[in-house]
Amino acid sequence: MLTGEEFGRLFETFEREAFRLETLSVYDVAEEREEFERFLAGGSMGPDWDDNPWVRSMTDKGKKVSRVHVLRSPLTDYLRYELSAYPGNITAGESIGIIDRAEQTVTGLPEHDFWLFDDRAAYRMHYTPEGAFIGAEPLPSHEVAAHLGHRDRALGEAVPFAEYWERHR
């Protein structure tokens, strides 16, 4: 399993495209705790929310970054927080879609998060029951094709974020 800096290097070394499927309703990210509490209290989220520098570090190099978040409304506090940050990701160049299982019946998608890089490497994400990141499991090459199919299915079924957010903000 890849963790920390080792996993982070994947975002520096991919050449063309990174895709993520997200499936959890809560992610326990230590670096976000203070910001999450500020969000819940109605505080200012700062300039990074207007134009995400992490996403921009990839898209400014001509790389494509996209995700589909599979969720179920009503939204948890964490999902309201995360989705409130998505407009800044989109400004920075990320493409984001939503599949809300309370509104759509979509079958054939895995119940786990994963990342795909350049259509040739797939990593299954592992989390604790509370949503803390454990590590990214490199999947064998014969599983990449299935995850490409999951990506294509998710992208085909997803509602564009702006459309979804207009109804659920």
Q: What is the CATH number of the domain that holds 128?
A: 3.30.870.10
Tell me the C-alpha distance between 94 and 111, whole Å.
23
Any idea what the Cα angle at residue 9 is, between residues 97 and 158, rounded to 5°? 10
Alpha-carbon span 86 to 79, nearest angstrom: 11
The domain containing residue 52 runs over which residues? 4-168
Model confidence pLDDT, tens digit, residues 20-77 = 999 999 999 998 999 999 999 999 888 888 999 999 999 999 999 999 999 999 999 9
The total number of structural domains in the chain stands at 1
- Each residue's pLDDT tens digit, 84-133: 999 999 999 999 999 999 999 999 999 999 999 999 999 999 999 999 99
pTM of the shown model? 0.95
Say which residue the tokens 């505080």 belong to: 43
